Amino acid sequence: MKIVVIQGPNLNMLGVREQQVYGPMRLEQIHAQMKDVATQNGVEIEFYQSNLEGEIVDRIQECYGDADGIIINPAAYTHTSIAIRDAISAVNLPTIEVHISNIYRREEFRQKSMTAPACTSSVIGFGPFGYHLAMVGMMQILSEINAMRQAQAPAQQGAEEE
């Protein structure tokens, strides 16, 4: 089971940028905690951060046939990027959108997510803890998918044998 975590522009500045909004935790610390949870649960995890829209689209596309789920914070591209939304729809993997801040309590331009409708679910406004919630949520989604596949497998086998 493999989860890919994709971080958008300026999230490499966490711990430095607007601490009153995003808190003091650095991205590496957030990722270290996610890695611990993944290891404890026998899940493979990869992290990617980019400030460039096209690179994020490329990384999402690379998940096709390789990853089982995506956790993404598209950051400012959340509010503008049809390209990232289309990439999420294209790969059709369980995808959780994370926002550290509560975008619905902030400026009007942040209150619309272009990307969320393409995602399975969203975690918003829990601070960096939201990434942990997304990990737990993703593992739940993936185990439900697994259970469903296993339940279907014997039925399919039976049908083939008839």
| Orientation of helix 27-40 relative to helix 129-161, angle to 10° | 40
Strands 69-73 and 2-7: parallel
104 is catalytic: no
Angle at CA of residue 14, ends 8 and 18, nearest 5°: 110
Tokens of 125: 């406004």
For strands 44-49 and 69-73, give the pairing.
Answer: unpaired
Complex with ligand DQA: residue 78 or 95, whichever CB lies closer: 78
Return the structure tokens found at 114: 């272009």
Is 56 a residue that touches ligand DQA (CB under 6 A)? no
CA distance 120 to 114: 14
User: Does the footprint of ligand DQA cover residue 80 (CB under 6 A)?
Assistant: no
Contact 131, 98 (CB under 8 A): yes
Task: Say whether 51 counts as a known binding-site residue.
Answer: no
Instruction: Considering only the stretches 28-36, 39-47, 71-79, 152-160, report the one whose residues sit in contact with ligand DQA under the rule CB under 6 A.
Output: 71-79
Kindly name the residue from 99, 104, 131, 132 that is annotated as catalytic.
99
How near is the Cβ of 46 to ligand DQA at its closest, in Å? 20
Among 6, 103, 119, 142, binds ligand DQA (CB under 6 A): 103
Residue 60 contacts ligand DQA per CB under 6 A: no
| Rounded CA separation 61/92 (Å) | 10
Q: Is 123 in the site for ligand DQA (CB under 6 A)?
A: no
114 lies in the site for ligand DQA, by CB under 6 A? no
Asked if 132 is an active-site residue, the reply is no
**Binding site for substrate: what residues are annotated?**
73, 79, 86, 100-101, 110
**Contact residues: ligand DQA, CB under 6 A:** 10, 73, 75-76, 78, 99-101, 103, 110
